[in-house]
Amino acid sequence: MPIDPQIAAMLDAMPEWPGVRHVPLDHLRQSVRDSSIGIPPAADAVVAAVRDAVIPGLGGDLPIRIYTPEGQGSFPVVVYMHGGGYVVGDLDTQDMIARALCAWSAAVVVSVDYRLAPEHKFPAGVEDSLAALRWVAEHAAAIGGDASRLALAGDSAGANLACAAALVARDEGGPAVRAVVNIYGSCNYPGTATPSAIAFADGPILRADDVAWFWEQYLEHPSQQDDPRASPLRAKSHAGLPPHFVGTAECDPSRDDAEDFARKLITAGVETHLQRYPGMVHGFASWVGFLPGARAVLQDAAAFLKTHFH
């Protein structure tokens, strides 16, 4: 299927992007932030309250943003990690995704401003994701949440962090996680020989060289690619993991790795909902305010969460 016509028109109106390798890091981060904060949220993704806080992390203070849904608690809690190749992004860049998950799953969403590479290499992002999960498990009641109903979620690199945190939580005996939402997270060091990596090596949006550059910033050494906290797909066993929702974009070089991860989960007996969204590109969930496909993936993810919370 060709790229979605609405996305194609958007891309045609955008200036040519040189690729992340050719953009200074500070400019890259500011460009992503400037382009993201202007994206409208879904009009019906209404939440009761949003507040920022700071919790303890291994690297010092860890900023979080707490979204509270309308209604009466206590609510389930979703710990959410934003995308951005482990290098860019913050609490504002995927605010629209956090709002939608909060409103549509009727859960408190705790968005995590984890440490970014290259200043903070692997496993800093995983450590911060786990710190947030453990903090939420201990302090859920204080934020209107129910510690017995916890989930992890993320998009792109943030989805990889969510899936890695679920692995560590399983291996360390908790906190117990009811469900994991993975929106176009590859969960694997980038493969270059998969059909999607070949077909979409030049994009749209995300190019194979962009993926390679992000991972060069993230890992201290390529040998770390086999650590399941970096590549959850490569874990020796996926048995005993919580149910996973895996939503992929058809026109995305990382699509096949994400779908291979879902199939690994299914083979291991993990309840898994895998859904590919036709004509979509990497990052499409951020356009939930106006793109039907983005609305679909977040509504599907929210419905999955609600099923496993109740």
What residues act catalytically?
A: 156, 252, 282
Handedness of CA 188, 230, 91, 28 (dihedral sign): negative
- Give the integer Cα–Cα distance in Å for 306 and 149: 10
Between CA 81 and CA 124 the distance in angstroms is 13
Strand order in the sheet with 244-251: 49-57, 60-68, 108-112, 75-81, 145-155, 179-183, 244-251, 272-281
Query: Do 113 and 64 contact (CB within 8 A), yes or no?
Result: yes
Rounded Cα distance between 208 and 197, Å, is: 7
129: three-class secondary structure by DSSP: helix
How remote is the C-alpha of 80 from its chain's centroid?
7
Instruction: State which amino acid sits at residue 9.
Output: A
Q: Which two tokens stand for residue 295?
A: 């609305």
Cα–Cα distance list, 139 to 65, 131, 175, 218 (Å): 14, 12, 12, 30
Residue 72 exposed, middle or buried by CB count within 10 Å (0-12, 13-18, 19+)? exposed
Would you put residue 3 in left (φ > 0), alpha (ψ -120 to 50) or beta?
A: beta
State the helix-helix crossing angle for 292-309 and 95-105, rounded to 10 degrees: 50
| Secondary structure element (H or E) that encloses residue 67, with its range | strand 60-68
**Omega before 253 within 30 of 0, i.e. cis:** no
